[in-house]
Amino acid sequence: MQAKMLEQRRRLALRLYTCQEWAVVKVQAQVRMWQARRRFLQAHQAACIIQSHWRWHASQTRGLIQGRYEVRASRLELDIEILMT
């Protein structure tokens, strides 16, 4: 009887240890996922800022917009040329 009780205690202790280990693993996984997501979002935000600045720079230096317009009695006529250099 005493051996049986000892075996039950051992199994219970092992089961509790296993549950605690799994809980630790899950918490570590959640923290690592949160850190990875935060790093990804920071990199994504930096890439968006760089792209927007580059697009603005490219639009300012690539082409020249030249045009003329005439106002007539009945309508407005526009003639716009976009020159890419």
- Residue pair 27/46 in contact (Cβ under 8 Å)? The answer is no
Q: Please give the average pLDDT of every successive group of 10 residues along the chain, which has 85 residues.
A: 90 93 95 94 92 82 58 59 56
Alpha helices (H) along the chain: 2-61
Please state the φ and ψ torsions of residue 71, each to the nearest 5 degrees. -105, 120
Q: Which two tokens stand for residue 74?
A: 């009945």
**Predicted pLDDT of residue 57:** 78
What residue spans define the domains of the chain?
A: 31-55
Angle at 68 between CA 62 and CA 71, to 5 degrees: 150
| pTM (2 d.p.) | 0.53
Point out which residues pair with 63 in neighbouring strands. Answer: 84
User: From CA 30, how far away is CA 27, in angstroms rounded?
Assistant: 5
